[in-house]
Amino acid sequence: MDNVTIQKVINTIYSEYPKTRGGSPRISHQADGRNLLVFSFFDTLPGSKSIQQNLRVVVDDQGRILKKSISRG
């Protein structure tokens, strides 16, 4: 997957999840031409506590988003 396609996917995620802005995702290549983008961000909870969340996005070579999931860690 080329840089233009990756940047287009990143901009799509930034528009859907504004809290992911300000950092760049970790990108790893998987089998069958898929790529995994992992965005990490902090979310504020009641009581001034925060929690780190990870948004995982699986993308194919054409830039189509196949799967999105958010985990708390």
56-72 confidence digits (pLDDT tens): 999 999 999 999 999 97
Q: What angle do CA 37, 20, 13 make, to 5 degrees?
A: 60
Residue 73 pLDDT level (bands cut at 50, 70, 90): low
CA dihedral (57, 65, 8, 35) in degrees, to 10, reads 60
| pLDDT above 90: percentage of residues in the chain | 85
Residue 23 pLDDT level (bands cut at 50, 70, 90): confident
Q: Give domain limits for the chain.
A: 3-72
Which is nearest to 53 in space by CA: 27, 26, 71?
71
CA 59 to chain centre: 10
